[in-house]
Structures are given as C-alpha cells and as structure tokens.
C-alpha cells in the first residue's frame, strides 16, 4: 500500500467561538509566512463560547514567533501521526482496523483525499500510542 506514517507536531490554541475567531489567530501567522498543510477548528461544547484551533506544520523562526504570540503551543497531551499515501477505496477502514487490532484507542482522526493521494492525521493519547500507531501502519498491506 505504501503508506508513510511519521510523527507530526501539531500546534493548538483556544479560540473564541464567534465569527472571525479562527481568522484572528490565523492572520498573524499568514503575515509571518505560514504555509499550513492542516488546519482544523472545532467548538468545545464542554466550554461554551470557546473552541480549539489546530495547525501543522509550524516552521521557521518568524512563524514560530507569531504562533507563540498568538498563544499557540504544542499540547503535552496530544501525540499526532501524519499518514500519507495513494488513496484507495476502503483505506480509511483498513487504517482504523489496523489501529484497533494494535490496541490503539485514538482520540481523533481526520483524512482528506485529493486526486489519487491522501493525507490523514491521527491524534493519540501518549507517545507510546504514537509509536504503536506508526508501527501498526508500517505493517499495513
């Protein structure tokens, strides 16, 4: 199948759940030259009026400085894995089954296919699960 699974450093920040809340955080990073592969935002029902924004990668001194000034950081409780490869029917189910069979209960998964390629991110609870995820996906055929 030719999957490439690697550690991913995802940055996160709390946002206001209102029109423009995400833009307020992203604009300073764009001005610093950020070029993100993944941007994900969601409301936090457990904290009404707030949400979370996740981005990756954060590269370069100017972008890193802008991210820190925007209140972003790397969560110490989320260990992410980036998966990429050729897209095929049923691939998401195969990935989910491989992780389940390896005993990994992940906290989140996302995936996007464009043309014949896909990129997916799995958020794990520990560095151990992150390593197990990478190992399980390398065995996937």
Topology annotation, domain 10-69: Alpha-Beta Plaits (3.30.70)
Which pLDDT belongs to residue 7?
A: 97
Q: How far is CA 103 from CA 4, 98, 99, 130, in A?
A: 20, 9, 6, 12
Domain 77-139: give its CATH code.
3.30.70.260
The residue to which tokens 């941007």 are assigned: 39
Q: Where are the domains of the chain?
A: 10-69, 77-139
- Does residue 38 contact residue 55 with C-beta atoms inside 8 Å? yes
pTM over 0.95: no
The residue to which tokens 């030259």 are assigned: 33
pLDDT tens digit string along 48-65?
Answer: 999 999 999 999 999 999
- Report residue 37: phi and psi, to 5°: -85, -35
């Amino acid at each position: 199948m030719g999957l490439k699974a690697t550690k991913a450093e995802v940055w996160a920040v709390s946002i206001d759940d209102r029109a423009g809340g995400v833009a307020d955080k992203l604009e300073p990073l764009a001005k610093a030259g950020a070029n993100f592969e993944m941007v994900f935002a969601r409301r936090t029902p457990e904290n009404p009026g707030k949400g979370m924004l996740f981005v990756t990668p954060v590269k370069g001194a100017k972008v890193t400085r802008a991210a820190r000034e925007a209140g972003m950081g790397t969560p110490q409780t989320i260990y992410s894995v980036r998966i990429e490869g050729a897209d095929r029917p049923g691939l998401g189910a195969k990935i989910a089954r491989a992780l389940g069979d390896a005993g990994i209960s992940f906290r989140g998964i996302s995936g996007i296919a464009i043309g014949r390629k896909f990129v997916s991110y799995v958020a794990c609870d520990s560095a151990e699960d992150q390593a197990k995820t990478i190992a399980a996906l390398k065995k996937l055929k």
